[in-house]
Amino acid sequence: MTVMTPLFSGDDPADGGDAIRVPSIRGQLRFWFRALAAGRGYDETQVWEQEEEVFGSTRVPSRIALRVDAQPGTPVGRGQEPPWTAAGKPFAGTRYLLGPGLWQDGALSRGFVPKGRTFELAIRFTGCDRIDSRFLYAFWAWLTLGGLGARTRRGFGQLRCHPVDGTALPDAWTFLGLDEATSWPTTLAQWNTLAAAPVLPVAEDYGAHEWGPLVTRGAELPDSPTLTPAWWGGRVLAARSRNGYSTFNEALQDAGRQWREFLLCSKIDQSRSTPEWRDAIIGDGNQFPRAALGLPVVYHRPQPPFQATVQADRGQLRRASPVWIRPVLLDDNRWHIFTHAFRAQLLPNGTTVTVEGDGKGKQLDIPEDAVTTALDAWLQVGTSSNRLRPGRRPQR
């Protein structure tokens, strides 16, 4: 496996752990397995039964065995400012994507596995076509749409799988094309095709996974991420250059810039505070559609001192951002930015969202269509959209 973008391990080796851990890989594979199974219309109980069959549980051992045989070396960069984190103009997009958890006081707060390093992942299959093909479908989704480690949803920790020769592999490996040459799109046309349908035609033709047909859109949002065109969408972000970016550094910088401008509902040089900050945090409004893009949201303004955290039920509930941003390398050795998002329920019914800290417990309202509106704006319009603006303006 090759690291394609800097990987921040969930178990920092600087603290005595391994950079690549099997439990972390299993966690990612389970996520994508659930999304695939839910996309076939199976309910929560059925998805769990299928997941247990493949990955095991506390009462049933896993049928698939994983082992990391060779680590990618010692992570680097902790407390430093690597070249790929250099501030861009007019905005330090890469640092923005890293967030305060990884970028503090002008340096990285933890080490990373650099782009280009490799590690070995051993997989023991079961010999059962249904189980092996379901596992490998999740494996494909993980490599194509996800990653490993911290800030995966912001383009870090992407991986690729090298071709495997001289090894007995399940038939599904061949049908899914799980190697460096064919396991993911390598042209803009292929990424645009994937954006319209996050499923593999060859996997559907093979059919050994024995899943039912993809579900169509119902009246209500699903409870969890669901990988089907009805509840998932993607697009390629417009690049500053028609030919994309020469390095992943440039792609990360521009991805961060576009994401920030989307949240601002304007160009960065026109405003540096988001609409909900002005309207709901320091203003008299109470509309907070920004919650659709993840909770909690932390705000900080040094002058005058002001800190606030918007969270659900005093921090008892979290919601990871449904938006994923991925710099992708094409076969012409140029980088582009692919983004995708899951449309799913924001929070359980009855959940309250409040401003803690200097916000003094102010309760906020989230529009019923916040998720659909926000994600449609990002996936269809992007930075030109004002649809994240709260409805009420602060009094002057």
Mean pLDDT of 298-324: 86
Tokens found for residue 11 = 């178990």
Mean pLDDT of 9-18: 66
Tokens found for residue 115 = 């782009």
pLDDT of 15 above 90? no
Instruction: Give the range among 80-94, 328-342, 349-363 with minimum mean pLDDT.
Output: 349-363
Burial class of residue 16 (count of CB atoms within 10 Å of its CB; 0-12, 13-18, 19+): exposed
**pLDDT per residue over 102-129, tens digit each?**
999 899 999 999 999 999 999 999 999 9
**pLDDT per residue over 370-389, tens digit each?**
898 899 999 986 555 667 88
Mean pLDDT of 23-41: 95
Q: What is the pLDDT at residue 179?
A: 67
Where are the strands (E) in the chain, listed by range?
A: 2-3, 65-70, 103-104, 107-108, 120-124, 159-160, 232-236, 297-301, 306-312, 323-329, 335-342, 353-357, 362-364
pLDDT of 247 above 60? yes
**Cα 344 from Cα 347, distance rounded (Å):** 9
HSE (side-chain half, CA atoms, 13 Å) at 47: 20
DSSP state letter for 113: B
**Cα 235 from Cα 375, distance rounded (Å):** 11
Mean pLDDT of 225-252: 91
Q: What is the pLDDT at residue 10?
A: 62
pLDDT mean across residues, the chain: 87
Closest by CA position to 36, among listed 222, 284, 211, 255 = 211
Burial 267-298 (b: 16+ CB within 10 A, else e): eeeeeeebbbbbbbbbbebbbbbbbbbebebe
**Cα 374 from Cα 376, distance rounded (Å):** 6
307 or 14, which is more confident? 307
Contact, 143 vs 183, CB < 8 A?
yes
The pTM (predicted TM-score) of the whole model is 0.93
pLDDT of 91 above 50? yes
131 or 315, which is more confident? 131
Q: What is the pLDDT at residue 13?
A: 56
Mean pLDDT of 307-324: 88
**pLDDT per residue over 263-279, tens digit each?**
988 888 766 788 899 88
Helices 22-38, 44-55: crossing angle, 10 deg rounding: 140
SS3 20: coil
Instruction: Give the range among 28-32, 264-268, 280-284, 359-363 with minimum mean pLDDT.
Output: 359-363
How many CB atoms within 10 Å of residue 257? 23
72 or 394, which is more confident? 72
Q: Provide the pLDDT confidence category of residue 396 given band limits of 50, 70 and 90.
A: very low
Rg (alpha carbons) of the chain, rounded to whole number: 21
H-type alpha helices, the chain = 22-38, 44-55, 93-98, 129-145, 171-176, 188-196, 201-206, 248-264, 275-276, 370-376
Q: What is the pLDDT at residue 350?
A: 79
Closest by CA position to 116, among listed 4, 271, 270, 254 = 4
Residues above pLDDT 90, as percent of the chain: 54
